[in-house]
Amino acid sequence: MIKINNLTLPFDHLPDEIKKEAAIKLGISEDEILTLKIRRRSLDARAKRPLRRVYAVAVEIRDEASISNRVQRSKDLAIEEEKNYEVPHVNYKGNQERPVIVGTGPAGMFAGLILAEAGFNPILLERGKLARERVKDIDCFWKEGKLNPESNVQFGEGGAGTFSDGKLTTRVKDRHRRVEKILQEMVSAGAPPEILIDHKPHVGTANLVKVVGNLREKIEKLGGEYRFESRVDDLILNGTHVNGVVLASGEQITAAIVVLAIGHSARDTFTMLQARGLTIEPKPFSVGFRIEHAQLLIDQKQYGKHAGHPALGAADYQLSYRTSLGRTVYSFCMCPGGYVIGAASDFDTVVTNGMSQYNRDGKNANSAIVAEVTPADFPAGPLGGFKFQNLWEKKAFELGGGNYFAPAQLVKDFIQGKMTSQLGSVTPTYKPGVQLADLNRALPTDITAAIKEGLGVFNQRLPGFSGPDAIFTGVETRTSSPLRILRGKDGQCVSVKGIYPVGEGSGYAGGIMSSALDGIKAAEKIIHSRDEGGH
């Protein structure tokens, strides 16, 4: 097939115009095109340009040889290689010692899938609950302020990404088709098929709950085993090699391979890992607040007169600025038509996050506005970032009234350093609820000063961004892991062999797609190590 890139059309074009434009690009009649498949689509909404849809399509034509010279001359045309992801296979008997995967977020889930497809019959241990049971615990927290520290937005089947926008964006260009593997598996498990072609694919929370459950069932049918409410509290070591894990119940599971896919919030587990000799180092992360606007405002700023057109959907934005003192401030996890949610996993703390459903039809747009923090900003030691996070999460709990309500403030009042007495037209969506407070007290002065400087620039780029109705809710502290478990080129922990740190918790990935990719790569390394006579 021939792939055509940069095929552009008006944003509100008719479906049959894609084929017509493809024929023009190829210099042939529409009748010569036998089949046409959309490979990618995006929206070009850059300022001072007409809104355009941009496509990459693959076409089959009657006489490919007749346009070979045209294909060679054009930068937008190429012969498409059709290739699928191939699971590595080795001579491994399923009754041999089974790999243990700790955590069932994207990294653990896709490591488990690949190992199961290769016949390794992995055991997946999850400290939280099944997704459908987890939903009940989270609803209870949002409605009644009753937190379950083992079943919440951070812990449970699917990991923290299950309660998010379900963004599947990645810049990775992978010739092995791992990205396509992830997306195709998710569609097979119930995700919208549009994620296969959208430039900025997203699944939405309700769909993700269904997807992770269906992926679990597939892994189980392939010989994998899930065990919920099975927190790992210790490792069994033999010198510098892992021999297994110990559960909170006291049960011991023997394993020469342990994949650590524990996410970025399992502070108790990280404390144990450091005590057991895993080499851990602190790394930068970011903290800030969730900002909310009327979604209509963002639509108008991004789409102009076309705001509200059914062909466009809810608009997003991406903002970044390096302050005069060198600290980066940026928007993170922007959720069009979404909600700000309570994402705490520890008692007496407040943590914000953003979430939206697939149709993104909520009244508000939200995003974290965060500033980078480095090891110089928090206590020394590998776990210093956790101490920093916990300090300010507890402060937010106090400012919110001590009942899991979050402190909130109009952005203009935050900038001016005065208390908010009355909200504007934007109603905060945070669950369980909000308490008006001074967010200048919710983070260190260096951080709040950087955010204020960034807001001034963002308001120039998107007029109204720091307007009278915009509201902040805090605090956003779980943007990424504050530490990294050092690993070698073989994917194993440098200090304890047989342990494969993966995903966000490892410090080498961030977000659903990069974590899932990291899990797949670890599974491949495990499979190949057995092919090379590993044990």
Domains of the chain, by residue range, sit at 2-79, 100-281+483-532, 284-476
pLDDT at residue 535, as a whole number = 42
N- to C-terminal Cα separation, the chain: 44
Residue 264 to residue 345: CA distance in whole angstroms:
11
Spatial separation of the C-alpha atoms in residues 254 and 105, rounded to whole Å: 22
Task: Please give the pLDDT value at position 531.
Answer: 72
Q: What's the CATH fold of domain 2-79?
A: Alpha-Beta Plaits (3.30.70)
Contact assessment for residue 288 and residue 475, using Cβ atoms and an 8 Å cutoff: yes
Which residues in the chain come in under a pLDDT of 70? Answer: 92-96, 532-535
- pLDDT recorded at residue 415: 98
513 touches 481 (CB < 8 A): no
Q: Structure tokens of 179?
A: 């990205």
Is the Cβ–Cβ distance between 256 and 498 less than 8 Å? yes
Of the candidate CATH numbers 3.50.50.60, 3.20.20.150, 1.10.760.10, 3.10.400.10, the domain formed by 100-281+483-532 belongs to 3.50.50.60
pLDDT at 141: 97
Cis amide linkage into residue 432, ω under 30° from 0:
yes
Give the tokens for residue 351. 């943590």
Q: Give 433's DSSP letter.
A: -
Q: What is the CA radius of gyration of the chain?
A: 24
> Running DSSP on this structure, what letter comes out for residue 263?
-
Measuring CA to CA, which residue among 86, 84, 66, 82 is closest to residue 26?
66
Instruction: Please give the backbone phi and psi of residue 19, each rounded to the nearest 5 degrees, phi first.
Output: -65, -40
For position 534, what pLDDT does the model report?
44
Q: Which two tokens stand for residue 160?
A: 């923290």
Q: What is the pTM of this model?
A: 0.94
Query: Could you report the per-residue pLDDT of 233-269, keeping only the tens digit for each?
Result: 999 999 999 999 999 999 999 999 999 999 999 999 9
Domains 2-79 and 100-281+483-532 share a fold: no
pLDDT tens per residue across span 370-381: 999 999 999 999
**What pLDDT was estimated at residue 470?**
98
